Amino acid sequence: MKYRLIRTISGRGQEPGQFTEMLRGIAVDTDGRVFAVGDTAVRVFQADGSLLRTWSTSSPGYCIAVARNGHVYVGLAGQIEIYEGNGTLIGAWRDEQHLGLVTAIGFADTSVLAADANARCIRRLDPSGKLLNTIGDDNRRSGFLIPNGVIDFAVDRKGVIHTANPGCHRVERFAIDGTRLGHFGRFDGQDPSGFPGCCNPTNVAVDDRGRIFVTEKAGPRAKVYDSDGTLLSVVADSQFELACKNMDLAVDSQGQVYVVDTVKLQILVFAPQAEPVAAGNTAAPSEGDESR
């Protein structure tokens, strides 16, 4: 399976659809609209990359997620802000103790999950923002090892939380009650199926089929694994600026992968490319084929 770059969205600049200093988080809703948070603004783009709307956040945003009901959750330092899809602020959960630096948000069952990078763990909140339990802090290091400064996670259709634990070179799985379900990953600076450098992967996303997408820093790279942790493909590497790190990513229902270039402040969209069928061979390529 190979991917090709089909589109770029936004970029560094002063235009309405651009970001001036930082682009930290993205999400894609069921209609293919792309939500991006950076600087102190949310920008929403149509699937074709055109700017749909923009609104301000109270402080710099670190992550963004779109709930099934269309509400937009933005993670900030010390709080989560909740907006209607049109940008109307409808709520804010302020809790500096439990939401010190919210770098990822997800949804499971009726719960809202928020990664607190200050405390190096994930908080599970009820629909009103009340803390239910904490996930990932029940080890000797009292949390995830994140020298890169952010925790990212994604929730699959079964409600399993897949979390990047970059200091351990793993993707770790949890149930929403905090039970550890397993992990995959290992350090390797040569074999692309491993995670290189001091601390990778930094970011993670999951698609409807349970495939796990990750990004890495130094050198920047996006990859996809099957649900067992077998590398399926390197989605992209050379397209990113070398100084990129903590590159958020998202996957839409078409299997297109959206990755943030944190230097260019741009979203790169990659589409899966069908393998050419050899003459006389009518069999479709296996989903598990590894491209590199």
The residue among 57 and 215 lying less far from other proteins, judged by its C-beta, is 215
Q: Does residue number 5 form part of the binding site for other proteins (CB under 8 A)?
A: no
Residue whose structure tokens are 């109307």: 88
We find the least distance from the C-beta atom of residue 65 to other proteins, in angstroms, to be: 25
How many residues touch other proteins under the rule CB under 8 A: the total is 27
- Which of residues 14, 50, 140, 238 is near other proteins by CB under 8 A? 140
Report whether 60 contacts 35 (CB < 8 A).
no
- Which of residues 187, 226, 227, 291 is near other proteins by CB under 8 A? 187
We find the least distance from the C-beta atom of residue 87 to other proteins, in angstroms, to be: 32
Dmax (CA) for the chain in angstroms is 63
Q: Does residue number 21 form part of the binding site for other proteins (CB under 8 A)?
A: no
Rounded CA-CA distance 145/242 in Å is 23
The residue among 94 and 186 lying less far from other proteins, judged by its C-beta, is 186
- Which of residues 4, 141, 158, 180 is near other proteins by CB under 8 A? 141
We find the least distance from the C-beta atom of residue 194 to other proteins, in angstroms, to be: 7
Stretch that binds other proteins, among 20-28, 44-52, 135-143, 206-214 (CB under 8 A): 135-143
We find the least distance from the C-beta atom of residue 224 to other proteins, in angstroms, to be: 22
The residue among 108 and 145 lying less far from other proteins, judged by its C-beta, is 145
The residue among 43 and 245 lying less far from other proteins, judged by its C-beta, is 245
Residue whose structure tokens are 């990004």: 215
- Which of residues 14, 128, 189, 274 is near other proteins by CB under 8 A? 189
Report whether 109 contacts 123 (CB < 8 A).
no
Write phi, then psi, for 153 (nearest 5 degrees). Answer: -150, 170
Q: Does residue number 119 form part of the binding site for other proteins (CB under 8 A)?
A: no
Positions 191 through 250 that interact with other proteins (CB under 8 A): 191, 194, 196-199, 217-218, 220, 242-245
Q: Does residue number 182 form part of the binding site for other proteins (CB under 8 A)?
A: no
C-alpha to C-alpha distances, 133 to 94, 122, 183, nearest whole angstrom: 17, 9, 21
Instruction: List residues binding other proteins (CB under 8 A).
Output: 139-141, 145, 147, 167-170, 186-191, 194, 196-199, 217-218, 220, 242-245
